[in-house]
Structure 1
Amino acid sequence: MSYSLDFAGLLPYLPEFIKGLKMTVTLTVISTFLGLVLGTYCAIGRMAKSKLIQGICAIYIEVVRNTPFIIQLFFIFFGLPILGLKFTAWQAGLIALVLNLGAYSAEIIRAGIDATPKGQWEAGKTLGFSRWQIYHYIILPPAYLRIYPALVSQCIIVMLGSAVVSQISVEELTFAANFVQSRSFLSFESYMLTALVYLLLAILMRKVFMLLKRVLFKSSVA
């Protein structure tokens, strides 16, 4: 049995792929920023003096890290409306991505904070800094630098995982691929092209993060 590849057959559907790509990039950028912010505060919360804050952060992290992402997504989109919390597909997808990255990045960031010498805490207190000022100016910058590669990898994983939100009809890249192959019957070509685009996005994200590293940590990176 022979099969002739027909990538030219996808040309009429190029606008669908571009639309899906834009949605994937939008979800990735927003969820990466919000997820890292959430992860930072949760990491700090895990080390808070309040047992209640520690417990809330710990429960959130354990629940997200030990349940499938697709179940989290379905719960937000299909389950929460029963409680009166209704979201559009896009909103539900974004919330799920943010919560997922927040939980995983929290543990990575906490590891970076744990590696900070205790002397730096004492130095901050000696200078009269508040707890938040010590985190902001003394603890977090070197902590982020230590765990930066791990954070980058986690953000890329979340970008790739965004394909799952197509299951609730968010019109991102995978949704576009499903739509195109159902209309053109060029399944092999549609998914091969989509896989290539995801690969290029992952490589591009890593390049962008490396450029950001030079900007954010220019005093520490040679």
Structure 2
Amino acid sequence: MTTALQFGPVLVHLDRLLWGLSQTIVYAALSIVFGTIVGIFGAVGRSYGPRWLSRLIGLYVELIRNTPLLIQLYIVFFSLPLIGMKFTPGTSAVIALSIHLGAYATEILRAGVESIPAGQVEAAKSLGLSPYRIVRHVVLAPAVRAVYPSLSAQFILQLMGTSIVGAIAAEELTAIANNLVMQTFRSFEVYIVVAVIYFVAVQLASLLFAGVGRFLFRWKQ
């Protein structure tokens, strides 16, 4: 005997799912901002910093990229309090997601930084530009433009990666969905609705990042 799909018991909780989506966007947005900052400093430090700093950043990148995000999340939320660093689930989620994205952003941006011809940097030095202006205008600006498609794709993955932060009781879309499954016993319908919400969110995010790219790099066709 088959049971007809019933979306009614799920859709009456659409406001809760949309609130979960708003939390997902907050976690993604904050971690993208902080993770990109980490990536910028990591890429510059690894490419132009002293050898010890480059090796230290390389170790960070390898550790993060070769361990699961869920384990990193657990370390921030469960392990750091043992040394006196206790955070709320939401803050822990942002910290872990930022550290995770930072490692990937470091490598993506480093590829762009190292694509800048050495002669271009030497020419900037000969013009008397300060190291800050050289890094910002001569190195980072064209480097970010070159790797922006890869970087924006990583941002999309970050949006979807927030789905695991419910493991530490941080409320977001997937965590709300899991609660609804236990409440309505309509797992199939709940996850179909959630999948549609994620799909729409990702498509809108893709359009947003594409628009941002066209706006930021309009100076060069």
- Cα distance, 1:128 vs. partner? 0.8
Across the two proteins, how many residue pairs are aligned to each other?
Answer: 221
User: Which deviations, in whole Å up to 9, do the C-alpha atoms of 1:124-161 show, x marking residues without a partner?
Assistant: 10111122211101111111111111001111111111
- Would you say the 8 A contact 2:108–2:151 is kept in 1? yes
Instruction: Name the structure 2 match of 1:85.
Output: 85
Instruction: Name the structure 2 match of 1:63.
Output: 63
What CA distance in whole angstroms lies between the structure 1 residues aligned with 2:107 and 2:76? 23
Higher mean alpha-carbon deviation, 70-79 vs 211-220, is at 211-220
What CA distance in whole angstroms lies between the structure 2 residues aligned with 1:49 and 1:184? 55
1:128-147 to structure 2, matched below 5 A, reads 128-147=128-147
- Cα distance, 1:82 vs. partner? 0.5
- Would you say the 8 A contact 2:47–2:114 is kept in 1? no
Higher mean alpha-carbon deviation, 197-206 vs 10-19, is at 10-19
Instruction: Name the structure 2 match of 1:111.
Output: 111
Instruction: Name the structure 2 match of 1:190.
Output: 190
- Would you say the 8 A contact 2:16–2:176 is kept in 1? yes
User: Which deviations, in whole Å up to 9, do the C-alpha atoms of 1:89-128 show, x marking residues without a partner?
Assistant: 0000000110011100110100011111122111110111
What CA distance in whole angstroms lies between the structure 2 residues aligned with 1:14 and 1:196? 12
Instruction: Name the structure 1 match of 2:29.
Output: 29
Instruction: Name the structure 1 match of 2:127.
Output: 127
- Would you say the 8 A contact 2:108–2:150 is kept in 1? yes
Residue identity (%): 37
Q: Which runs of 5+ in 1 are unaligned?
A: none
Task: Give 4+ residue runs of structure 1 displaced > 3 Å after superposition.
Answer: none
What CA distance in whole angstroms lies between the structure 1 residues aligned with 2:213 and 2:204? 14
TM-score by length of 2: 0.97
Q: Residue 48 of structure 2 aligns to a residue in which SS? A: coil
Q: Which amino acid aligns with 1:160?
A: M
Instruction: Name the structure 2 match of 1:216.
Output: 216
RMSD over aligned CA atoms reads 1.1
Q: Which runs of 5+ in 2 are unaligned?
A: none
What CA distance in whole angstroms lies between the structure 1 residues aligned with 2:88 and 2:127? 48
Instruction: Name the structure 1 match of 2:205.
Output: 205
Q: Which amino acid aligns with 1:78?
A: F
What CA distance in whole angstroms lies between the structure 1 residues aligned with 2:173 and 2:3? 25
